[in-house]
């Protein structure tokens, strides 16, 4: 490392500079350290991490993206690894641990090639070729799934949920079914295919009860109460107005003063206000609404008039919930009361305020042809509930991408073994130094079956050898690691399947991140403001998790 002295260097005084092979070594070590950190959390037998924030909040999870996010890593290379997980999360919703693991091992293997004096651009080129070929291989081995193949879709949901080690027990199948049903409800047909906006599946959760009490609601659950005790708490055949504007007399923006010099003036001022509020409620009533969801506040007096007219109202509803309500009930959100007409109203078979675990919640149900639905999750404690939610989000992503792409692959590491095997054949065809990089790429994919084997208490090397031998036979390409029974077995028969997109995205984002990191041969870090050595050879210590 070079510490710049004023004038001698083009870089500012006090900055640190690491160049060449040293820079690569540090970056590889950090990328690999991040992968090692989450390695034990892969798969259904993966271990959980308990993350304690500076404020003392506790998160227990084995979700790769969540672990990395909660850790607040601050080394730039560690941040790139976190980005890999985030991209995977955004594009697919599942496979975050896998993508970071592959990236970490691509880096580690690249380090070994660098030690053999193979240039980083050659490695990057080989990795790129390997990623392209891996993509083709994945297409070759993927199997088709149709939107009405409920059993396959349920298995995909089950595997995505099941790899989070939450003890859902018998409820797992039930939740998997809820997930498939909810994805199908919000799915739209477009250009001969299907498209799913997972935003339209709202997740609402409450502790208490067991996961088996979770429900799919064809409508929206709002975590708010009916605003006035005199209002009806249950309305059948609801006609719903969605208001973006407040049901209050808006105060002027500028400092205005109203001068009142006599009691009569005061009286008439109040009467005027009262009349305006009453007019607002009359307007709502005149269009035929019997339920109001308001994004802003509702004046006490307006509440009183609404209650008198038997209109149910909920105030300060989140913007995102307003959009979902519009989608579920086919209402239009209105920004000014003057514009409200009966055409803007939405419909729901039933709206009811219910008490759940001590809190009032408003259930908007039985919506016809609802394009937004709610998964209402229950579990015994806050921590379990949060992990159930993460598992459900992963599964929604997995089922959605399986439907959108119409393709799935087999899990339990068998896809990685098969892709690696075919990549090794491909490497010999390419020849040259790139061949070594392609082989290194194939070896990096082995981290998945190896880690799954270790998590099941099996010998990683023996398992890998046995898997490779099996995969030589074309009839055995679905053989993988059965972590539940700790043996090598046909994972297709076991129903351990995953959407094709999980594997494709993991390989492409891992390769991109790795190649980006490999191209760096100069780290210039500004003088740290207080202590610390950003980018310094503190190596993995460059991460400063709020944990550990």
Give me the active site residues, please: 63, 96-97, 394
Q: Which is nearer to ligand ADP, 178 or 502 (CB)?
A: 502
x/- letters, 507..536, toward ligand ADP (CB under 6 A): ------------------------------
Does residue 397 bind ligand ADP (CB under 6 A)?
no
Closer to Mg ion at the Cβ: 326 or 395?
A: 395
Alpha-carbon distance 194 to 187, whole Å? 7
As measured in angstroms, the least distance from the Cβ of 446 to ligand ADP is 12
Q: Which is nearer to ligand ADP, 35 or 301 (CB)?
A: 35
Tokens of 398: 């997995």
Closest CA to 72 of 46, 51, 47, 92: 51
Other Cβ atoms closer than 10 A to 21: 12
The listed partner (Mg ion, ligand ADP, none) that binds 42, CB under 5 to 8 Å by sort, is ligand ADP
483 makes contact, choosing from Mg ion, ligand ADP, none, with CB < 5 to 8 Å by partner type, with ligand ADP
Among 130, 222, 452, 510, binds ligand ADP (CB under 6 A): 452
Residue with smallest beta-carbon separation from ligand ADP: 411
C-alpha atoms less than 13 angstroms from C-alpha of 265 in its C-beta half-sphere: 5
3-class DSSP assignment, residue 204: strand
Q: Which is nearer to ligand ADP, 94 or 490 (CB)?
A: 94
The verdict on 277 binding ligand ADP (CB under 6 A) reads no
Candidates 43-51, 123-131, 133-141, 352-360: pick the segment binding ligand ADP (CB under 6 A): 43-51
List the structure tokens of 174.
Answer: 């039930």
The pairing of beta strand 58-61 with beta strand 49-52: antiparallel
Contact 101, 35 (CB under 8 A): yes
What values do phi and psi take at 304, rounded to 5?
-60, -45
Kindly state the smallest distance separating residue 62's Cβ from ligand ADP, in Å. 6
How many whole angstroms separate alpha carbon 241 and alpha carbon 341?
A: 9
Q: Which among 6, 22, 5 has a CA at the least distance from the CA of 536?
A: 22
Q: Does 481 bind ligand ADP (CB under 6 A)?
A: yes
> Please, what is the minimum distance in Å from the beta carbon of residue 508 to Mg ion?
17
Q: Residue 403 in contact with residue 196, Cβ under 8 Å?
A: yes
| Site mask for ligand ADP (CB under 6 A), range 56-75, x = bound | ------x-x-----------
In the complex, least distance from residue 518 CB atom to ligand ADP, rounded to whole angstroms: 23
User: For ligand ADP, which is the closer residue by CB, 118 or 391?
Assistant: 391
Name the burial class of residue 412, with classes exposed (0-12), middle (13-18) and buried (19+) by CB atoms within 10 angstroms of its CB.
Answer: buried
Q: Which is nearer to ligand ADP, 372 or 455 (CB)?
A: 455
**397 touches which of ligand ADP, Mg ion, none (CB within 5 to 8 A by kind)?**
none
183 binds ligand ADP (CB under 6 A): no
The first and second tokens of residue 508, run together, are: 């492409």
Q: Across-strand partners of 361?
A: 354
Tally the residues of the chain.
Answer: 548
Q: Which is nearer to ligand ADP, 340 or 410 (CB)?
A: 410
Select 66 or 463, whichever has its Cβ closest to Mg ion: 66
Closest to ligand ADP by CB, 157 or 385 = 157
Rounded CA-CA distance 84/81 in Å is 5
Quote the least distance from Cβ 391 to Mg ion, whole Å: 8
- 333-334 and 234-243 beta bridge pairing: parallel
Compare residues 240 and 506 and give the one whose CB is closer to Mg ion.
506
The C-alpha atoms of residue 481 and residue 345 are separated, in whole angstroms, by 54
**Which entry of Mg ion, ligand ADP, none binds 303, CB below 5 to 8 A by partner kind?**
none
Q: Count the residues of the shown chain that bind ligand ADP, applying the rule CB under 6 A.
A: 25
498 binds ligand ADP (CB under 6 A): yes
Q: Among the candidate windows 93-101, 256-264, 467-475, 515-523, which touches ligand ADP by CB under 6 A?
A: 93-101
Q: Give the distance from CA 187 to its chain's centroid.
A: 18
Asked if residue 482 lies in contact with residue 489, where contact means CB atoms within 8 angstroms, the answer is yes
Binds ligand ADP (CB under 6 A): choice among 94, 204, 248, 321:
94
Partner whose binding site includes residue 484, from Mg ion, ligand ADP, none (CB under 5 to 8 Å by kind): ligand ADP
Q: What is the dihedral of CA 285, 288, 294, 299, to 10 degrees?
A: 10
Counting contacts by CB under 6 A, is residue 401 touching ligand ADP?
no
Give 439-455 as a 3 state SS string.
HHHHHHHCHHHHHHHHH
Element (H, E) at 217: strand 215-217
**Residue 44 interacts with ligand ADP (CB under 6 A): yes or no:** yes
Number of Cβ atoms within 10 Å of the Cβ of 18: 22
Residue among 24, 39, 46, 317 that touches ligand ADP (CB under 6 A) = 46
Tokens encoding 218 = 């064809």
Asked if 84 and 58 touch (Cβ cutoff 8 Å), the reply is: no
Strand partners, 487: 482
**Partner whose binding site includes residue 418, from Mg ion, ligand ADP, none (CB under 5 to 8 Å by kind):** none
Residue from 24, 27, 66, 96 in contact with ligand ADP (CB under 6 A): 96
Least separation in angstroms between residue 97's CB and ligand ADP is 3
Task: Show the tokens assigned to 370.
Answer: 């609802």
Distance in angstroms (rounded) separating the CA atoms of residues 498 and 265: 73
Looking at residues 120 to 179 of the shown chain, list those that interact with ligand ADP (rule: CB under 6 A).
159, 162-163
Any bridge partners for residue 481, and if so which?
Answer: 488
By C-alpha distance, which of 468, 257, 226 is closest to 352? Answer: 226
Query: 505 and 512 in contact (C-beta within 8 Å)?
Result: no
Binding site for Mg ion (CB under 5 A): 94, 163, 394
Residues 26, 33, 42, 301: which binds ligand ADP (CB under 6 A)? 42
Binding site for ligand ADP (CB under 6 A): 42-44, 46, 62, 64, 94-98, 159, 162-163, 411-413, 448, 452, 481-484, 496, 498
């Amino acid at each position: 490392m070079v510490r710049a002295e004023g004038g001698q260097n083009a870089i500012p005084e006090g900055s640190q500079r690491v160049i060449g092979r040293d820079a690569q070594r540090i970056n590889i070590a950090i990328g690999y350290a991040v992968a090692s950190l989450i390695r034990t959390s892969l798969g259904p037998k993966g271990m959980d991490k308990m993350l304690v924030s500076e404020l003392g909040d506790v998160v227990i999870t084995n979700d790769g993206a969540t672990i990395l996010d909660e850790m607040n890593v601050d080394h730039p290379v560690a941040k790139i690894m976190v980005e890999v997980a985030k991209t995977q999360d955004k594009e697919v919703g599942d496979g975050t641990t896998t993508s970071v693991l592959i990236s970490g091992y691509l880096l580690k293997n690249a380090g070994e090639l660098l030690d053999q004096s193979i240039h980083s651009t050659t490695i990057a080129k080989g990795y790129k070729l390997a990623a392209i070929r891996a993509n083709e291989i994945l297409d070759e081995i993927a199997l088709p799934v149709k939107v009405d193949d409920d059993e396959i879709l349920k298995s995909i949901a089950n595997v995505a949920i099941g790899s989070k080690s939450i003890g859902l027990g018998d409820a797992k199948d039930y939740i998997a079914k809820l997930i498939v049903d909810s994805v199908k409800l919000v799915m739209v047909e477009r250009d001969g295919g299907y498209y799913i906006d997972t935003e339209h599946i709202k997740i609402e959760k409450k502790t208490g009860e067991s996961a088996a009490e979770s429900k799919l609601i064809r409508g929206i659950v709002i975590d708010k109460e009916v605003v006035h005790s005199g209002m009806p708490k249950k309305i059948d055949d609801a006609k719903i107005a969605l208001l973006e504007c407040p049901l209050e007399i808006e105060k002027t923006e500028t400092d205005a003063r109203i001068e009142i010099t006599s009691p009569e003036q005061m009286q008439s001022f109040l009467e005027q206000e009262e009349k305006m509020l009453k007019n607002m409620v009359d307007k709502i009533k005149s269009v035929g609404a019997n339920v109001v969801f308001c994004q802003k506040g509702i004046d006490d007096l307006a509440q009183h008039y609404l209650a008198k007219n038997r209109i149910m109202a909920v105030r300060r509803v989140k913007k995102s919930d307003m959009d979902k309500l519009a989608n579920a009930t086919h209402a239009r959100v209105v920004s000014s009361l003057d514009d409200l007409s009966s055409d803007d109203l939405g419909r729901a078979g039933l709206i009811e305020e219910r008490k759940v675990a001590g809190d009032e919640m408003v259930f908007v149900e039985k919506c016809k042809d609802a394009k937004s639905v709610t998964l209402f999750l229950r579990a015994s404690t806050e921590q379990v509930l949060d992990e159930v939610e993460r598992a459900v989000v992963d599964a929604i992503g997995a089922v959605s991408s399986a439907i959108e792409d119409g393709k799935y692959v087999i899990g339990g590491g068998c896809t990685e073994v098969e892709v690696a095997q075919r990549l090794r054949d491909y490497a010999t065809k390419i020849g040259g130094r790139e061949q070594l990089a392609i082989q290194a790429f194939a070896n990096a994919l082995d981290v998945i079956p190896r880690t799954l084997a270790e998590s099941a208490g099996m010998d990683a090397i023996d398992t890998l050898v046995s898997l490779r031998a099996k995969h030589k036979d074309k009839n055995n390409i679905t053989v993988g690691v059965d972590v539940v029974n700790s043996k090598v077995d046909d994972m297709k028969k076991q129903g351990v399947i995953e959407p094709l997109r999980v594997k494709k995205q993991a390989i492409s984002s891992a390769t991109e991140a790795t190649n980006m990191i490999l191209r760096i041969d100069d780290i210039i870090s500004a003088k740290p403001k207080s202590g610390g050595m950003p980018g310094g050879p503190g190596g993995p210590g460059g991460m400063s998790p709020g944990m550990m």
